[in-house]
Amino acid sequence: MAIHLPRPIDIYFTLDRARDTEALATGFAADATVRDEGSIHEGQAAIKAWKIEARRKYEYTIEPLEAAQRDCKTVVTARVAGNFPGSPVILAFIFVLERDKVASLEIHS
């Protein structure tokens, strides 16, 4: 069963699967933030660097399972598998969108 995702979020997961880090980073607002693994990455250049390093380190795949709207945020529950202890895991990807761009993304279990 396919899940419906807002366009910027669908593009995020599509470009991640395609490993198109350059295009993925441009889907974020210029001052966007990503919170992942206890670190904050701010701005498109930092987000691109974060994504490149995560791909290199974990060789992961992401499979979105469901999406829900909560407090002006889109929460996507996804199965993440890769080269890390405990793989696969279920993680929450919490997106805030502004003007058809990702303004913030927080990833946690």
Return mean pLDDT, the chain: 96
Spatial separation of the C-alpha atoms in residues 84 and 59, rounded to whole Å: 9
CB within 8 Å of 18: residues ≥ 6 apart:
none
- Helices (H), ranges, the chain: 7-18, 21-26, 44-58
- Give the sheet arrangement for strand 28-36, strand by strand: 39-42, 28-36, 101-108, 89-98, 73-81, 61-70
pLDDT digit string (tens) for 27-73? 999 999 999 999 999 999 999 999 999 999 999 999 999 999 999 99
The fold of the 7-108 domain, in CATH, is Nuclear Transport Factor 2; Chain: A, (3.10.450)
What is the model's pTM?
0.94
